[in-house]
Amino acid sequence: MPNLEHPAYPAATLLQLESLVPCRESQVSLLLSIFGERQHFSFPSIFIYGHTSSGKTYVMQTLLSTLQLPHVFVNCMECFTSRLLLEEILTQLQSCSPETEQTSQVPCDTFNDFVRLFKQAVATQELRDQTLYIVLDRAEQLREMEANILPAFLRLQELTDRNVTVVLLSEIVWELFRPNTGCFEPFTLYFPDYSIGHLQKILSQNHPPEYSADFYSAYINILLGVFYMVCRDLKELQHLAALNFSKYCEPVARGEANERDSRKLWKNIEPHLKKAMQTVYLREISSSQWEHLQHDDGEPGQLKGLSAHTHVELPYYSKFLLIAAYLASYNPVRTDKRFFLKIYWTENILFLLLAILYSIVDNRVAPTANIFSQITSLVTLQLLSTVGHNDQLDGPRYKCTVSLDFIRAVAR
C-alpha cells in the first residue's frame, strides 16, 4: 500500500487524507504529483472518468478541502445554461478570496466576459500565488452548451494567463467529448470500479457505535453476497445496509444469538435481503414503507409494489380505439390491404384507425366529436403518440405505444 508522500504538505495532513480516501490512494498520489506544490503551475486541464459512485466527486472534494487548496466546485447538471455556470463559478470565486467584499451578482453572458471577470477576481495576492482549481462535476453536460464552452475551459490557463487548473469529472470517456474541430487534450485519469474487497472495506468503515466492527463487517459480507451481483453502487449499498441492519441485529437484541453466531444470523437475514432485492431495491416499495414493515414484522406481500398496479381502466370506446391503434400500428401492410383495401391508399392512419374501430366494435359507432377527442386523450395519457408534427391538422398520424401484454389486458 503506497503511503502518500509529498514534500509540499505536512505528513499529518497527508495521513489524514489517506484515511479518508480508502482504496483510492494510487489515484490521489498521482493527482498530488500532477498538482505539484501550491505555487507551481499544474496541468491546464485534467479529465477524470469512472462509473457511477467510483469516488470521483468525493475524492476531489476531500483532496481539495483537506489540503486547503483554493478551489471552485460546480455541478454542471445544476447549471443548465452556460450563463448560470459561468456566474456560479464567479460567485464561488468571490467567496474564495476573503479580501473582496461581497458584491452582488455580475452578469456574465459570454466566455469573453468570463475571462475578463475571472482575471479581476483572482487579482488578489493570495490567489495569485497558488494554483486555483475549478472542478466541473458531471462535465458531460458541457457538451450540450455552446460549442466554445468546453474547448475554452480546457485551455483556461492559457486564456487567462493565471495559475488555474480545470478538473472535469464525468462518467463517460473522453473520446465522446472531443469536439470535431479539435481542442486541447486534457490529462485523462481513470477511476476504476471498486472491487468487492474495496466495497467490503469501505462499507465496514462506518459501523454503528453500538456494535463492534467485526459484527458489522460480517453483516456487510452477507449483504454483498446477496447484492453484489445486481448492484455495485456504493451509495445504494450503504443505503441498503442501513435499512436492513436492524433486522440483522434482531436475534442479538432478543438474546437468541450472540454476535458470533454467524450461521444463525445468516439464516435470519438472508431471505430478508432477498426480499429486499425484489422490492425496495427496485423501488417497488419505498424505503420508509420497508422500514415500517420491518418494524411491524409484517409480510411484504401485504404491500403491493408499484408494478402490481398495472391495470388501467378505460372507457368502452377508448379500449376499442386503443386496440384499433395497436392493430393499425403493427398489422402488416399486406393484411391491411386485404381487409381495409378501400381506404388504404389514403395513407391516412386516422382513417385506417377509424376503419378498424368500426369493424371491431359490434354495434354501430357514430363518429361523434367524443370519439375524436378520445384519441387526443389517449395521446395525453401517452398510450398513443403522434407521429410527425403536432400541428398537422390534415391527416394526423398516430402510433400505439403500449405493449402487447397491455393490449391483451385491455381486450379481456
Partner 1 sequence: MKIEAIHFGEGENDSEDRELRFDTCQSLWNQIKLETEQIQEDLNKQLLDNLVSFLRRSHSDFQEKKTEWTCRMKSREIPTAALVLGVNVTDHDLTFRNLSEALRNNITPYIALLEAKDCPGVKNLMQKLMGQLMNCSTDVVSLEDEDSVQVSQNRIRCSMNSLIDWYKSVTKKTDSETLSKKRTSSSRHQQSPPVVVIFKDMESFTTKVLQDFIVISSQHIRELPLVLIFGIATSPMIIHSLLPHSVSSLLCIELFQSLSCKEHLSTVIDKLLLTSRFPFKLGEKVLQVLINIFLYHDFSVWNFIKGFQLCIVEHFYSQPLSVLCCQRADAKKRVNSLSHDQCENIRRLPSFRRYVERQEAEKQIALLTADNFLKETTQKLLEDLHVYHENYVSVLRCLHVFTCSLPKYPLGKQIRELHCACLENQVWETEDYESFLQLARMLNKSDLETMLQQCVEILVSSSGNEFDKAIGKLKEFLTQFHKLEAEAFQEQDVSVSSQKELQKKTDLYHLQKTLLELKDSRRSKKLTKFEMLRFEVVDYIDSLVRNYLVPADHKTLHEIVYFNTASVLRGHLNAAPRIALHTALNNPYSYLKNEALKSDGGSISNKAPDICIVYKLHLECGRLINLVDWLEAFSTVVTAVEGPNADAASSDQVDDIIHARFIRAVSELELLGFIKPSKQKTDHVARLTWGGC
Binding site for partner 1 (CB under 8 A): 52, 75, 77-81, 84, 87-88, 105, 206, 208-210, 233, 235-236, 238-239, 241-243, 245-246, 282-283, 286-289, 304, 306-307, 309-318, 342-343, 345-346, 366-371, 374, 377, 380-383, 394
Closer to partner 1 by CB, 156 or 243: give it: 243
Q: Which of 129, 147, 103, 136 is nearest to 40 (CA)?
A: 129
* DSSP string for residues in 20-62: HSTT-HHHHHHHHHHH-STTS---SEEEEE-STTSSHHHHHHH
Closer to partner 1 by CB, 45 or 141: give it: 141
Cα–Cα distance for residue pair 320/161, rounded to 1 Å: 69
Closer to partner 1 by CB, 209 or 255: give it: 209
Burial of 261 (0-12, 13-18, 19+ CB in 10 A): middle
Closer to partner 1 by CB, 12 or 229: give it: 229
Cα–Cα distance for residue pair 21/28, rounded to 1 Å: 8
Specify the DSSP element, H or E, that contains 324: helix 316-330
Cα–Cα distance for residue pair 199/74, rounded to 1 Å: 27
CB of 276 to partner 1, least distance (A): 13
CB of 78 to partner 1, least distance (A): 5
CB of 70 to partner 1, least distance (A): 20
Cα–Cα distance for residue pair 320/318, rounded to 1 Å: 5
Closer to partner 1 by CB, 218 or 383: give it: 383
Closer to partner 1 by CB, 25 or 284: give it: 284
Closer to partner 1 by CB, 30 or 308: give it: 308
Closer to partner 1 by CB, 23 or 231: give it: 231
* DSSP string for residues in 39-50: TS---SEEEEE-
CB of 183 to partner 1, least distance (A): 26
Strand order through the sheet with 45-49:
71-75, 132-137, 164-170, 45-49, 187-190
**Coil vs helix vs strand at 187:** strand
Q: Which residues contact 293 (CB under 8 A, 6 or more apart)?
A: 285, 299, 300, 303
Amino acid at 252: V
CB of 384 to partner 1, least distance (A): 11
Return the DSSP state at 321. H
CB of 245 to partner 1, least distance (A): 7
CB of 330 to partner 1, least distance (A): 19
Closer to partner 1 by CB, 179 or 208: give it: 208
Residue count (the chain): 412
Q: Which residues contact 349 (CB under 8 A, 6 or more apart)?
A: 328, 387, 395, 396, 397, 398
CB of 198 to partner 1, least distance (A): 18
CB of 375 to partner 1, least distance (A): 11
